[in-house]
Structure 1
Amino acid sequence: MAVQIVTDSTCDLPREIVEEYGITVVPLTVFFGEEALLDGVEIGADAFYERLGTSHDLPRTSQPSAERFRQVYEGLAGETSEIVSIHLSSKLSGTLNSASVARDQVAHGGLHIELIDSYTVSLGLGLVVLEAAAAARTGASLENVVAAARRAMDRVMVYVAVDTLDYLRRGGRIGRASSFLGSVLSIKPIVGIEDGEVVPIERVRTRRRAEERIFELATADGRAKALFATCTGDRDATQELAARLRAVLPHTDVRPAMLGPTVGVYLGANALGVAILHGD
């Protein structure tokens, strides 16, 4: 039986990829006030960003429970005895801890579950998951699937230009990018993920320059293996960025993807970014 891949909804992988590779996605929960909505199940990207623009409530998020993970792992037990469960950085969420509790609860059933802290999030996590899923689909052993994920972790970079750091600040996920706080309003911060937390990359003066800088960062390695392009809440802009990148990166698998509700809580609308998987 093939190794099964489990991840969480912050991977932001498009549904067609999840289905193609048979990846199991455990949803986080997004709250508007007291209303709880499962990310990607009860609320998708389009509905989330539309609501974000009109809501008086600042949304918040919650990690999946250990019970939800237990149900997922036990549900896969009929298909496999080996699972690789890959999740967003433990410095940003307690999701991995919930998965760890669930693994301990089902350990007696002969199910071998390998947990991986990706030390990244969103489409960076998605690229790590995709590499593991590709290995699993070829019939690779548990050890080789884990190795594929860890190799990808060393080669993934995420860059995002945000309109404001306010969502990250209020959500408590700003990390070292707090050094950008207090900048004049016209400055557009570009942040990344390093060692599992949000870090400052640079500041630019206009939205147009932010767009160009993201493009420059995305194309600096002309032979990256894979790349996801995104603009939160704007499918047309996402498609346009992906098309522009494809034109200059003929050897890179460039795909558009929407950032889902959980990640959107911390980035807000109009964030523009790329996740890059560099070659071996």
Structure 2
Amino acid sequence: MSKVAIVTDSTSYIPKGYVTKYNLTIVPQVLIWNGDTYEDGVEILPDEFYRRLKTAKVMPTTSQVSITNMQKSFTSLLEQGYDVLGMFISSKLSGTMQSAHQGREALGSGKE
């Protein structure tokens, strides 16, 4: 039986307890606020986000997960002997699925 790793993006907001318990890999979306960029769940956590949102004069925007971050996550798991299952935000809402496809394609041939 092969080992399977699940990769998702930070819009899933899976509680840290589950991330740890099930060894999930979360790739962060990018949050852009007043010209500064933050990795969601890494450089800015929900508590800080909502605290800042209360007084913000300019609303933040988001950007999809980078192809590089996707590729790094996939490569790390594949090198550990895992098959990778990706579950991401809908392609109708974000370009994250496209980043995941491009990250996979950059790795060369393999299972789809």
* Aligned twin of 1:11: 12
Structure number with higher relative contact order (C-alpha < 8 Å, ≥ 6 residues apart): 2
Return the offset for 1:37. 0.6
Tell me, yes or no, if the aligned pair for 2:8 and 2:26 is still in contact at 8 Å. Answer: yes
The CA RMSD measured in Å over matched residues stands at 1.2
Tell me, yes or no, if the aligned pair for 1:29 and 1:39 is still in contact at 8 Å. Answer: yes
- Distance (Å, rounded) in 1 between the aligned partners of 2:56 and 2:35: 13
Return the offset for 1:80. 2.3
Runs of 4+ in 1 over 2 A off after TM superposition: none
* Cα offsets for 1:52-74 (capped at 9, x unmatched): 01111110000011111111111
- Distance (Å, rounded) in 1 between the aligned partners of 2:46 and 2:82: 33
Return the offset for 1:41. 0.3
Q: Which has the larger radius of gyration?
A: 1
- Distance (Å, rounded) in 2 between the aligned partners of 1:5 and 1:103: 14
Code of the residue aligned with 1:35 in structure 2: it is: D
Identity value in percent: 38
In structure 2, runs of 5+ residues without a counterpart are: none
* Aligned twin of 1:138: none
Tell me, yes or no, if the aligned pair for 2:77 and 2:83 is still in contact at 8 Å. Answer: no
Structure 1 residues 37-186: aligned runs within 5 Å: 37-108=38-109, 110=110, 112=111, 114=112
Code of the residue aligned with 1:105 in structure 2: it is: A
**Normalised TM-score (structure 1):** 0.38
- Distance (Å, rounded) in 2 between the aligned partners of 1:107 and 1:4: 19
In structure 1, runs of 5+ residues without a counterpart are: 115-280
- Distance (Å, rounded) in 1 between the aligned partners of 2:108 and 2:10: 24
**Normalised TM-score (structure 2):** 0.93
